[in-house]
Amino acid sequence: MSLKKLNFKHITMIMLVSIIISVMWHYFDGSLCDVFDEKKLNLDSDVSVHYIDVGQGDCELILDHGMSILIDSGEVEKGNSVVKYLKSCGIKKIDLFIGTHPHTDHIGGFLTVVKNFDIDRIIIPELPKNIIPTTSTYTNFLKLIDEKKIPVDKPQIGKSYKIGEGRLDILGPVGQNYNEINNWSICARYVYKNTSFLFGGDMEKEAEKDLLNTGQMIESDVFKLNHHGSKTSNTKKFLSAIKAKIYVIEVGKNNTYQHPSVEVMKRIDGAKVYRTDLNGSVVISTDGSRLDVRPEKGEG
């Protein structure tokens, strides 16, 4: 086509196509997680909570209007896949990282994550000296935080962190005399408009009971079962106080712990349950009232 023939109609067409391309580019940048091989996940919502499949371990991501909270990061060897997931979501930096407790299936992947992203702030529990783990993973974890000079907060009950247009309330750990590291897990509740999501790491029934006794608001739409669905956690009392509509279990296929326990599965029988060993990563997006569940595998 010669330049002379480029009439008004052509120019309009070219302009229209470039506008569409630029709008699509903007729309997908940061909102498209292409970790799901078969079907690409188009997050058409500004707020989404991701239960990332890291096998036997925990890793949750909250995205709220361009800001991010990462709760746990799976085992050391899952670090690269967590980084890949975060990058595919368009994440440039992590606003808040919570290491619920120092077990490797929760903080291992951080060793890789911290080398790939700037992290604004970290919250980790302050354990009594006699139970602080001496594993190389935890020692390296603390060393990297120190090297990168990342500000560290202790979990302060009642404190809220504003992220995007939502907030994360710190609810626990409540007790001060736990001998079991799991009970020191940070418990936090993310709230966006009328929706809420509860996270409690591997807290056991003692910590659940103490939390209930504080009378804090724990009722939530979505609950990630404590300690990978173990029967030493997730008591009937605790579950009935949460009144969750949706349960997510972060658990590895054929794990040696036999998580989740048959007993706990009975306690939540009839409810909507998603498991990372069966469903892969599970993404719940929301407009503040509706919850749209998109598992990697299976029905939403």
Q: Where along the sequence are the contacts to Zn ion (CB under 5 A)? A: 105, 202
R_g over Cα of the chain: 21
- Provide the minimum distance between the beta carbon of 110 and Zn ion in the complex, in angstroms, as a whole number: 14
- Provide the minimum distance between the beta carbon of 184 and Zn ion in the complex, in angstroms, as a whole number: 12
Toward Zn ion, which CB reaches closer, 202 or 208? 202
Toward Zn ion, which CB reaches closer, 107 or 284? 107
Toward Zn ion, which CB reaches closer, 105 or 169? 105
CB environment 94-125: b (16+ within 10 A), e (fewer): bbbbbbbbbbbbbbbbbbbbbebbebeebbbb
- Provide the minimum distance between the beta carbon of 259 and Zn ion in the complex, in angstroms, as a whole number: 9
Toward Zn ion, which CB reaches closer, 59 or 91? 59
Is the distance from CB of 54 to CB of 109 less than 8 angstroms? yes
- Provide the minimum distance between the beta carbon of 65 and Zn ion in the complex, in angstroms, as a whole number: 30
- Provide the minimum distance between the beta carbon of 286 and Zn ion in the complex, in angstroms, as a whole number: 26
Toward Zn ion, which CB reaches closer, 166 or 173? 173
- Provide the minimum distance between the beta carbon of 256 and Zn ion in the complex, in angstroms, as a whole number: 13
Toward Zn ion, which CB reaches closer, 47 or 54? 54
